[in-house]
């Protein structure tokens, strides 16, 4: 019994050393550069939204604000994440020197 457990353990551990399976689809574009989210995400500069990691952080923050508005009864609809991300980028294109808080207010948040 002990030998069978030892054999199974060794067999399981050999799987850990195997090379990972190749990805089926190669990634396109350049990978996102690291982005440090400030303590107050509303202070993210619109110029930073050129980085996909910054767009993701900004979208998450605005989606959280929108969810709070829905739960408080101040908002009836909840747009999807892609729509919010593209709306933020559009708002930031018109005023690249502003902050995310200003762009979110243009979206009614």
Domain of 59: which CATH number?
1.10.890.30
Task: Label residue 34 by pLDDT band (50, 70, 90).
Answer: confident
Which ranges of 1-99 would DSSP assign to H, the alpha helix? 2-14, 52-72, 81-94
Mean pLDDT over 2-30 rounds to: 58
Q: How far, in Å, are 1, 17, 20 from residue 9 at the CA level?
A: 12, 13, 20
Task: Label residue 109 by pLDDT band (50, 70, 90).
Answer: confident
Split into its structural domains, the chain has a count of 1
Q: Is residue 84 part of a domain?
A: yes
Q: How many helices (H) and strands (E) does the chain have?
A: 4, 0
Q: Is residue 20 part of a domain?
A: no
Contacts of 97 (CB under 8 A, 6+ apart): 45, 46, 47
Range of the structural domain that residue 48 is part of? 37-109
Q: Encoding tokens for residue 102?
A: 């200003």
Mean pLDDT over 29-43 rounds to: 80
Please give the pLDDT value at position 24.
Answer: 46
Please give the pLDDT value at position 29.
Answer: 52
Q: Is residue 77 part of a domain?
A: yes
């Amino acid at each position: 019994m002990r030998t069978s457990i030892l054999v199974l353990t060794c067999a399981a551990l050999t799987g850990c050393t195997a090379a990972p399976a190749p990805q089926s689809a190669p990634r396109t574009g350049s990978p996102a550069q690291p982005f440090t989210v400030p303590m107050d995400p509303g202070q993210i500069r619109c110029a930073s939204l050129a980085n996909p990691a910054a767009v993701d952080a900004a979208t998450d923050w605005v989606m959280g604000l929108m969810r709070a508005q829905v739960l408080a009864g101040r908002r009836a609809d909840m747009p999807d994440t892609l729509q919010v991300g593209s709306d933020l980028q559009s708002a930031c294109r018109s005023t690249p020197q502003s902050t995310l808080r200003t762009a979110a207010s243009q979206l009614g948040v």
